[in-house]
Amino acid sequence: MPPRPSADAPRFRTGVLNFDKGAGETSFAVVNRLRRLTGARRVGHAGTLDPLATGVLPILFESATRLAEFALKLPKTYVADIHLGFVTETDDAEAEPQPVGDSSAIVSADVETALATFSGRILQQPPAYSAVKVEGKRAYALARKGEAARPAAREVEVYAASLLDFQAGPHAVARVEVRCGSGTYLRSIARDLGDRLGVGGYLGRLVRTAYGPLTLDQAVRGDELTDAESVSDRMLPAEVILPEMERVRLNVEQEAQVRQGRAVRVLPEPGPGLVRAHDSAGHLVALGHTDPLRRTFVPEKVLH
C-alpha cells in the first residue's frame, strides 16, 4: 500500500473519472482502490451501483467531491434483464429465485403494456434489502434480522422505459432500457413489473449505460489504470457532472475574492438560480447564486 500523502504533498487533480465498474465489486471498494492508486486526499463516487451491477460510476477527486449532491440530480440510463415467473428476497439475483407463476403465455406486447405504466412520476417502494432507513435503521439490517418492515413508498421519476428484447417461455426474460432520476430502484421496477404481469419478477443483469453526459462507451476500466498518471490522463473537468446552469467569468481579482467567500459584481449580470463561476482560463471556481438587490454573485461552494 502506498504511503499516506503528507500535509504539504502536492494535491491530486480535481476532476471526475468516468469509471466502468465491473461485476462483484462494491462502489466503496472502487473508491478505496483509486484513493490508494492516486494518493488523492478526497475521493468519492456519485450514485452507488450494487455489487452485481456494472457500468458508469462517476468517481470524484478532491474538490469535485463537493459536487456530489448536484451530480445525483442528473438522469441515469440502465439496461436491465428482468426475469419473470420468479421472485427473490432481495429483488435481484443475489438470493435464490422462488417460483410464483407461469410466464409461458406472456408475449412482448404484454410486457410493453405493463412497462408503459412506469413512465412519469410514480410511487415506488424501495427493496427490503436497501439502504433506505425505516424508523432510523437501514432496511437491509432489519431484513437480515428477519424483521418484515418495508421502506415506505416514495415518488421517483422515470423519464422513459422501453422493451429492447423479450425471450418468451417458462423462464421468460425481458431486457429493458430505463432512463430515470435519482433514487429510482431498478430492482423495484423488476419486482413491480412481475407483479403487473401476475407472475412475479426479479432483476438479473444490470448495466448503467449513461450518467448524465457520461456514457459507457467512453468509460475507463480498472485494468487500464496502473498509476496516478494513468488516472489523471483520463480525468474530466469537474463541471461535467453538473446540470445545466448559467456561467460567469471571473477576472483574477474577482477570483481571489470568491475564493475567500466574498460576493463580487460580474458583468453581464447572471439571472436567478444556481450559477457557475469560472476563472479566466475556464476552470470551475465556485457555485453560487445572484443577489438581485446588490447585483452580485454570491459564492456557496468554492472549489480549492
CA distances for 36 relative to 5, 39, 40, 70, angstroms: 10, 5, 8, 26
Cα–Cα dist 184/297, whole Å: 34
Residue 165 corresponds to which cell in the numbers above? 428484447
Active site annotation includes 102? no
Please give the C-alpha separations between residue 196 and each of 110, 193, 247, 288, 292, in angstroms, as whole numbers.
Answer: 10, 5, 45, 45, 51
d(CA 187, CA 52): 12
Cell of 168: 418468451
Rounded Cα distance between 74 and 76, Å, is 7
Residue 205's alpha-carbon distances to 24, 79, 288, in angstroms, are: 12, 8, 40
Give the DSSP letter string of 124-147. Answer: EPPPSSSS-EETTEEHHHHHHTT-
| 27, 131 Cβ separation under 8 angstroms | no
CB crowding 12-31: b at 16 or more within 10 Å, else e: bbbbbbbbbbeeebebeebb
CB neighbours of 77 closer than 8 A, spacing ≥ 6?
A: 177, 178, 179, 180, 208, 209, 210, 211
CA 19 to chain centre: 12
What's the rounded Cα separation, in Å, for the pair 255 and 10? Answer: 21
Q: Which of 20, 50, 91, 92 is catalytic?
A: 50
User: How many CB atoms lie under 10 A from the CB of residue 110?
Assistant: 20
What positions carry a catalytic annotation? Answer: 50
